[in-house]
């Protein structure tokens, strides 16, 4: 059989588009869906070429999982919507299903790639809220991946930073600021470039900054000085994410959720709704959500439901 399952093109991107066009002509999908999925497929093929994958026969579920994992990291950084990332993985599943005549094993965007659920309301407590499980995850990251990756994990859990914010943080300056002012300014890697301030409310946060500063050394950020953001994100940071997920059941975004749940309990006096808490004072609940939304870099109270649960 010729290249790309004999679809009719030696170019993997074009072959996928042809498969979609044929499905639309046969009535299997609408022409608009075919066009949309063709764009999503092209995003995958661009990534695949960088990995040395140039033909459909070489696309494996493991490769698609790797693709999904880097999309998950971009979702956690606020660069992609969860729905966009999930749709991209689903499009790859669709095209490969067509190309293999139904023999393709689909990859779950959420369970295997760790992309956040589309549901905006968290119903279960984040695994990293369990300090024992989180501690095991952190120790494993430190041992298996390295001190810088462990610092990124710890900053996400203790200060609620996105992975990019934690990676680009000048931890030495942040530690000095925390000790002098009792707060840390977050400016690099933020969503939309919006600077924000996080109050230091626990000695654990200072200790996390101390370890991050030590891991950083003479560099200008926690991230290794020789790495670009993309290579770091798809290398050690992704490895750290997989280790955290193995121990806590959630990725780096769940570390932020655990931070938010801890802050919610500190501000309201009871556990977050997703962790079994009951809202008795809706005014206090709203005040807490507003504060947490500012600390997480969102600015809207309704977004906090994704981290701590709904208001009902």
For residue 271, tell me if it sits in a domain.
yes
Q: Which of these three, 99, 118, 144, is where a domain ends?
A: 99
pLDDT of amino acid 312 = 75
**What's the pLDDT score for residue 267?**
97
What's the token pair of residue 137?
A: 């995850």
Measure the CA–CA gap between 29 and 38, rounded to whole angstroms: 12
* Count of domains observed in the chain: 2
pLDDT per position as a tens digit, 21-67: 999 999 888 899 999 999 999 999 999 999 999 999 999 999 999 99
Q: Are both 90 and 238 inside the same structural domain?
A: no
Tell me, what's the pLDDT at 121?
A: 86
- With a cut of 50, list the residues of the chain below it in pLDDT: none
Phi, psi of 197 (to 5 degrees): -120, 135
What sign does the dihedral 139-164-290-175 (CA atoms) show?
positive
Residues 172 and 259 grouped into a single domain: yes
3-state SS record for the chain: CCCHHHCCCCCHHHHHHHHHHHHHHCCCCCHHHHHHHHHHHHHHHHHHHHCCCCCHHHCCHHHHHHHHHHHHHHHHCCCCCHHHHHHHHHHHHHHHHHHCCCCCCCCCCCCCCCCCCCCCCCCCCCHHHCHHHHHHHHHHHHHHCCHHHHHHHHHHHHHCCCHHHHHHCCHHHHHHHHHHHCEEEECCCCHHHCCEEEECCCHHHHHHHHHHHHHHCCCCCCCCCCCCHHHHHHCHHHHHHHHHHHHHCCCHHHHHHHHHHHHHHHHHCCCCHHHCCCCCCHHHHHHHHHHHHHHHCCCCHHHHHHHHCCCC
> Do both 202 and 74 map to the same domain?
no
Task: Based on the fold, state whether residues 49 and 145 are members of the same structural domain.
Answer: no
The reported pLDDT for the residue numbered 118 is 63
Residue 183: φ, ψ to 5°: -160, 160
Q: Say which CATH number the domain at 240 has.
A: 1.10.443.10
Nearest residue to 253 (alpha-carbon basis) of 127, 147, 169: 127
Among 160, 288, 302, 156, which Cα is nearest to 222's?
Answer: 156
Question: In the prediction, which pLDDT does 82 show?
Answer: 86
Residue 252 lies in a domain: yes
Which residues sit opposite 197 in a β-bridge? 185
In a domain, 281, yes or no: yes
Other Cβ atoms less than 10 A from the Cβ of 82: the count is 21
Residue 92 near residue 64 (C-beta atoms within 8 A): yes
Give the span between the Cα atoms of 251 and 131, in whole angstroms: 15
Q: For strands 196-199 and 183-186, give the pairing.
A: antiparallel
Radius of gyration (Cα) for the chain, nearest Å? 21
Copy the structure tokens of residue 21: 């066009």
On whether both 174 and 58 belong to a single domain, the answer is no
Q: What is the domain range of residue 95?
A: 4-99
Q: What is the pTM of this model?
A: 0.73
Report yes or no on 214 lying in a domain.
yes
Note whether 168 and 288 are same-domain residues. yes
Does 119 map to a domain?
A: no
């Amino acid at each position: 059989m010729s290249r790309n399952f004999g679809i009719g093109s030696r170019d993997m991107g074009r072959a996928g588009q042809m498969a979609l066009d044929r499905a639309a002509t046969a009535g299997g999908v609408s022409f608009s869906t075919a066009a949309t999925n063709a764009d999503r497929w092209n995003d995958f093929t661009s990534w695949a070429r960088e990995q040395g994958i140039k033909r459909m026969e070489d696309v494996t579920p493991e490769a698609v999982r790797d693709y999904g994992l880097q999309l998950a990291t971009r979702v956690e950084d606020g660069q992609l919507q969860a729905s966009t990332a999930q749709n991209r993985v689903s499009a790859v599943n669709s095209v490969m299903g067509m190309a293999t005549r139904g023999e393709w094993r689909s990859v779950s965007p959420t369970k295997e790639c760790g992309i956040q659920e589309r549901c905006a309301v968290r119903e279960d407590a984040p695994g990293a809220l369990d300090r024992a499980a989180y501690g095991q995850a952190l120790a494993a990251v430190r041992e298996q991946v390295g001190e810088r990756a462990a610092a990124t994990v710890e900053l996400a859990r203790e200060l609620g930073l996105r992975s990019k914010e934690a990676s680009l943080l000048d931890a030495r300056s942040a530690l000095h600021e925390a000790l002098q002012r009792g707060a840390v300014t977050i400016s690099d890697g933020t969503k939309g470039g919006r600077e924000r301030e996080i109050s230091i409310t626990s000695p654990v946060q200072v200790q996390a900054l101390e370890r991050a500063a030590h891991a950083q050394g003479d560099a200008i950020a926690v991230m290794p000085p020789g790495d670009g953001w993309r290579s770091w994100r798809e290398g050690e940071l992704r490895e750290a994410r997989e280790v955290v997920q193995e121990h806590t059941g959630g990725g780096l975004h769940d570390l932020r959720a655990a931070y938010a749940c801890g802050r919610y309990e500190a501000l309201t006096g009871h556990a977050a709704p997703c962790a079994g808490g009951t809202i008795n004072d809706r005014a206090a609940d709203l005040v807490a959500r507003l504060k947490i939304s500012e600390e997480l870099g969102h600015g809207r109270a309704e977004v906090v439901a994704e981290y701590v649960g709904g208001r009902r």
